[in-house]
Amino acid sequence: MRKEEIISKLPYSKPFLFVDEILYIDENGVEGNYTFDENLDFYKGHFKDFPVTPGVILTEVMAQIGVVCLGIFLLNDTFSKTTSIALTSTEIEFLKPVFPNEKVTVVSEKIYFRFGKLKCKVSMLNNNGEVACTGIIAGMMISPPQPSPKGRERKPD
């Protein structure tokens, strides 16, 4: 699956799409980036004289790139518009502020993916390559059951 195809399958749109580019992806992890436009609405009221990106938004960026993009890649052909996606847990440590117009890079490493649950170690790096936040994020991705192949039904004896 191509990187652009994964982004197109994300169940988000602007202003809540926080993925600009996927730099790398394989079955063990993903790396991508996002630039925080200074005109995003939350900057108007989050520290009015010194805008800083809210932690909940940083967590969302990490989840969209580090868990959802990777989950779409892992589910591959079984991912569809009817796939259910839900955040199940986060444990994030915030180490440095992220400011308007800052480009961040998210690096995610799969811990496990089984029974539709994906758990990853995710870090966000700021413009200077410093870790702005890091932690563990888990989510559920459940695709609808696939129809059984025709001609495989067993006929009664």
Our answer to whether residue 70 is catalytic in this structure is no
Helix (H, G, I), strand (E, B) or coil at 114: strand
Let me know if 145 is exposed, middle or buried by CB neighbors in 10 A (0-12, 13-18, 19+).
exposed
Let me know if 82 is exposed, middle or buried by CB neighbors in 10 A (0-12, 13-18, 19+).
exposed
Rounded to whole angstroms, how far apart are CA atoms 6 and 8? 5
Q: How many CA atoms lie within 13 A of 83 on its CB side?
A: 24
Give me the catalytic one of 3, 46, 103, 117.
46
Name the residue among 116, 137, 3 with its Cα closest to residue 61.
Answer: 137
Contacts of 125 (CB under 8 A, 6+ apart): 104, 105, 106, 107, 131, 132
Catalytic residue numbers read 46
